[in-house]
Structure 1
């Protein structure tokens, strides 16, 4: 490919503009949302938040029983599993007195390692938290990113961290860029580079190999 990952980012940014992500009022809401959105769409997460909002503080969620929490987030799907994951996350967060400012002082590597040790927090969810809650520059690898880069002509590594490290090698260590890049790839995948792509409307068409399966 003649285009760098930074040039792809610039084309998407110039076309779609800033995305102002993550869609949440607080960093805590953002982190809970990153767990709720696993294996579902954002519309179902919003429905869950409607019921969860009166309890949307770490201390209040800590006091809820597993069953109470599961019923509040029922619309997000896999609600029993997600309730356990949220409870595990709250237990970790409580060790730092729910203080995001304290957690931000940790190195990206140490914080990522801790997040990955929390039950139900995988690499994608951990990295979303790192970027959007803790201001750490890291590339989030999701199905949308893989789809777009593959169609453009990149042969990506099979492993999550293989893709992440490959992209990060070309990008500056700028948390704002990583914030926007993930959001832009999601927007592009939803608007244009869908499962059945709308290629004629694509801002990347001039550099795309159109490898469509």
Structure 2
């Protein structure tokens, strides 16, 4: 089956419009959010970010003890594990003097490798950081993307990177497109392609094989 990813993107964009993602005020807040959102909902992340607001500078996070950080991010769940992940991430970030512009000058494949070497940073979290904080056009493969593409009838690879590369080879390396694509997938999963889908009014109805789990 021929998969038209550009058509899929266009249909979602026409229906939902620009999303203006990532939902964060600064790139650093976005980085913290990418770790906090692991295995939880945005509602819980918002509460954790609210608690973190007075400390949303790298130097301030660095000064917090592991326990202080864990208590602040408690609403996000798995807070002791996530506090350790944030501290590990900060050790890596410090090697670049907390300078996002300096990181952006690096080779993105090498940067992705560095991110994946941080304990607790998997491909999805690494790619979200690359896309939204470091301006790298990359497709984020999350559970929503897997659900939507499966239901459409697309037979996507099991492996994360094979799934990502299959889409990327068909689309232009356009930062805005990838930025919007991930956000639109998330929005569509919330509005229509839920665990129990709402097919009525779905902007992808004409493209969809309605292959349910």
The whole-number CA distance in structure 2 between the counterparts of 1:107 and 1:6 is: 27
State the Cα distance separating 1:107 from its structure 2 match. Answer: 1.7
Runs (5+) with no aligned partner, structure 1:
none
* Matched-pair contact (CA < 8 Å) for 1:3–1:207: no
State the Cα distance separating 1:2 from its structure 2 match. Answer: 4.7
Alignment of 1:112-151 (within 5 A): 112-151=112-151
State the Cα distance separating 1:38 from its structure 2 match. Answer: 0.3
Q: Which residue of 2 aligns with 1:159?
A: 159
Q: Which residue of 1 aligns with 2:55?
A: 55
Q: Which residue of 2 aligns with 1:90?
A: 90
Task: Show CA shifts across 1:151-196 (max 9, x none).
Answer: 1111111110010011111010011110000000000000001111
Alignment of 1:163-202 (within 5 A): 163-202=163-202
Q: TM-score, normalised by structure 1?
A: 0.98
The whole-number CA distance in structure 2 between the counterparts of 1:108 and 1:177 is: 18
Q: Does 1:20 align with 2:23?
A: no
* Matched-pair contact (CA < 8 Å) for 1:73–1:79: yes
Tell me the number of residue pairs that the alignment of Structure 1 and Structure 2 aligns: 213
State the superposition RMSD in angstroms. 0.8
Q: TM-score, normalised by structure 2?
A: 0.98
Q: Which residue of 2 aligns with 1:9?
A: 9
The whole-number CA distance in structure 2 between the counterparts of 1:136 and 1:194 is: 28
Task: Show CA shifts across 1:64-84 (max 9, x none).
Answer: 100000000001000000000
Task: Show CA shifts across 1:53-107 (max 9, x none).
Answer: 1111100100110000000000100000000000000110011110000000112
Q: Which residue of 2 aligns with 1:68?
A: 68
State the Cα distance separating 1:50 from its structure 2 match. Answer: 1.4
* Matched-pair contact (CA < 8 Å) for 2:3–2:154: no
The whole-number CA distance in structure 1 between the counterparts of 2:2 and 2:100 is: 40
